[in-house]
Structure 1
């Protein structure tokens, strides 16, 4: 548990440079956490959507390219990766961030949200 907290802290610290924060769930909980059914990467436009476990857009296809986000995903407050073994590479105007399986991402206050997604056939993107 201590290692998990240390790794999570390092990810959050690194992510703050992109204006993001990440949290994790256990692999068993990854299938349905936050209303996001397996095998999807779900986007939540507002804090109220996140709190209600009501996603506003979801992606599930592994691709070799970035997909531009729909209006339901663009500017999302939260993103959750319910996949068990595939990472979701989130694209930002300032770079990319790998959202690992079972992890969630939150936009930092005042930061721009993701502009694209590429679901990878690798847990570490």
Structure 2
């Protein structure tokens, strides 16, 4: 048995003997970060929406090409990627692109995101 496995078994046995309950964090807590359910990419139109954790548009489908944003998402103030292991390639009106990794947040001033591509890669690699 590897040392790490042995230590885990030993700790679990000791905790059980002492009547201590060891549990992983409840997944639902992570599922609603910033008001955005898993597995979505949420768009917040204004700083007020962001602070209130009230998203205006959300996307969840992995695609092979860009998705044009709806008027509710176009030019948003903030974007949050609630996905665990998928990146989001953000396309800006000036042609610039940026990868928003799992759990990533991006806020904007002058740049405008006009389309996205949710990819089965945390780094948006093809």
Question: By the TM > 0.5 criterion, same fold?
Answer: yes
Structure 1 stretches (4+) deviating beyond 3 angstroms? none
Task: Determine the structure 2 residue equivalent to 1:113.
Answer: 112
The alpha-carbon deviation at position 32 of structure 1 amounts to: 1.7
Matching of residues 76-115 of structure 1 within 5 Å: 76-94=76-94, 95-108=96-109, 111-115=110-114
> Any unmatched runs of 5+ in structure 1?
1-27
Higher relative contact order (CA closer than 8 Å, sequence separation 6+) = 1
Query: In terms of Rg, which structure is larger?
Result: 2
CA contact under 8 A between 1:30 and 1:81: conserved in structure 2? no
Deviations 1:45-98 (A, max 9, x none): 000000010000000000000000001101100000000000000000231000
CA distance in 1, matches of 2:112, 2:92: 7
> Any unmatched runs of 5+ in structure 2?
1-27
CA contact under 8 A between 1:82 and 1:101: conserved in structure 2? yes
The alpha-carbon deviation at position 112 of structure 1 amounts to: 2.7
Alignment TM-score, normalising by the size of structure 1: 0.73
CA distance in 1, matches of 2:117, 2:30: 19
How many matched pairs? 97
CA distance in 2, matches of 1:30, 1:99: 17
CA distance in 2, matches of 1:53, 1:46: 10
RMSD of aligned residue pairs (Cα, Å): 1.7
